[in-house]
Amino acid sequence: MLTAFGRAFRTPDLRNKILFTLAIVAIFRIGSHIPAPGIDYKAVQACQNQSGGQQSLLGLANLFSGGALLQLSIFALGIMPYITSTIIVQLLTVVIPKFEALKKEGQAGQTKMTQYTRYLTIGLAILQSSTLVTAVHNNPESLLGNGSACSDIMTSGALPTLVIMVITFTAGTGLIMWLGEQVTEKGVGQGMSILILTSVAARVPSEIWSIRNQGWGKFIMVIVMGVVILTVVVFVENSIRRVPVQYAKRMIGRRMYGGTSTYIPLKVNMANVIPIIFASSLLSLPVMVAQFTNPQGTAHPAGWATWIFNNLAQSDHASYMAVYTAMVLFFTFFYVSITYQPDEVADGLKQSGSFIPGVRAGKATAKYINYVLTRITVVGAIYLAIIALIPLIALAMVGANQNFPFGGASILILVGVGLDTVKQVDSKLQQHHYEGFLR
């Protein structure tokens, strides 16, 4: 990785792209520390120190915002509205025929779907910012902690101030979306992925240092485990199942064409980090509803709220781990089934005059691909479930924060985005080399 970026810095056009990307990342990180209007930054910091910085309800959202959410900065919502809208639009392509038709139109259809994603992102940002402002105004302890300083984080509770906060959070999301698109267009890598990587990486030093404070023994043990986990994740993320494909031979005039062989690459982890995001988000909903309707500490909370507080509010509880694992397994199969269509792959092979050796074209090919895909998804789902449980086990064993850097969404984002960015840099270097050779 370092060699690839070293070579890139010696190439003028790639160096400019990398420097542009780093400038956007710097702007993104600066915005994550600028407090929103109506927020007392010192009070927020005092609240974080009193509560210990551990919030299971907003752990995933705070992770994707690089810690900006619990600091109530102008980038508090982070990239989550865009991630959510992208997933929703992707799911709608299976449900709504118009979206499915747009997906098949190529670049023009993709442009329209991107525009719909932007509109939905702004709509979700308005909804989420309104919810966040209402929660901070009415019950800040439920979000930030139970310290005495958590109740005085707002400088004013007037309606104009609340409206300005909603506008600021929404505008911050829009700016983040624009910054990501600028990186995709003028920088290196996929813009939104780079910003997510930046948010996750910004939390790693503090999380590792919090483990260091518990003693050198635990720190060395965690580092060794982290290296092992990182090696396994890199191996699995690069693992694919190659389904062989043979092109039929055709006579055109006096020449013979075709007869070449290739393969269909099926990744072991085709769902990537999406199942973990789904499971974490859905598991936080009942706890959040119970917290707002029956806050902890009330004299007579409802029975269902008590059960949720006792079983689902603590991520190191056995019931939480069991439900979390089941949801990760389910969403892995669900997401792969709606995003990868064996029938479409089989039709494409048939139209191009290619086939899988030993398998008849058409429905038999689709059935074979579905069979192979199901077997791979079983391995991928178990792998994701194990990775997702690592932060929860670490939380119970070494007292680490739920945003443990060597497991869950953190490690998958760091490895996945890092590998993808390096591949893009390598491809651009090869392209530059070929262009120089031709000149």
User: What is the spatial distance between Cα 14 and Cα 419, in angstroms, rounded to a whole number?
Assistant: 17
Between 152 and 32, residue with greater pLDDT: 32
For residue 191, CA distances in Å to 11, 58, 63, 147, 390 come to 21, 24, 18, 37, 28
* List of residues 6+ apart from 301 with CB closer than 8 A: 294, 309
Q: In which band, very low, low, confident or very high, does the pLDDT at 330 lie, cut at 50, 70 and 90?
A: very high
Between 183 and 3, residue with greater pLDDT: 183
Supply 388's token pair: 């997702």
Three-state DSSP at 243 gives strand
Q: What interhelical angle do 191-212 and 12-31 show, nearest 10?
A: 60
Query: Position 132: which residue type?
Result: L
In tens, the pLDDT along 72-82 reads 888 888 888 88
Residue 328 phi, psi dihedral angles, 5° rounding: -65, -45
One-character DSSP codes across 297-347:
T-SS--HHHHHHHHHTS-TTSHHHHHHHHHHHHHHHHHHHHHH--HHHHHH
Q: In which band, very low, low, confident or very high, does the pLDDT at 2 lie, cut at 50, 70 and 90?
A: low
Q: In which band, very low, low, confident or very high, does the pLDDT at 272 lie, cut at 50, 70 and 90?
A: confident
Q: Where exactly are the structural domains of the chain?
A: 15-205, 214-439
Supply 279's token pair: 């499971």
User: What is the spatial distance between Cα 318 and Cα 316, in angstroms, rounded to a whole number?
Assistant: 7
Radius of gyration of the chain (CA): 24
How would you classify residue 253: left for phi > 0, otherwise alpha for psi between -120 and 50, otherwise beta?
left
Which CATH code of 3.30.465.10, 3.90.850.10, 1.10.3370.10, 1.10.10.10 fits the domain covering 15-205? 1.10.3370.10
User: What is the spatial distance between Cα 335 and Cα 427, in angstroms, rounded to a whole number?
Assistant: 29
Task: Considering the domain delimited by 214-439, tell me its CATH architecture.
Answer: Orthogonal Bundle (1.10)
The total of other beta-carbon atoms located within 10 Å of residue 175's CB is 15
Between 418 and 150, residue with greater pLDDT: 418
Q: What is the mean pLDDT of residues 102-131?
A: 86
**Helix, strand and coil in the chain, % to nearest 5:** 70, 5, 25
Three-state DSSP at 57 gives coil
Between 330 and 338, residue with greater pLDDT: 330
Please, what sign has the CA dihedral across residues 429, 431, 435, 437?
positive
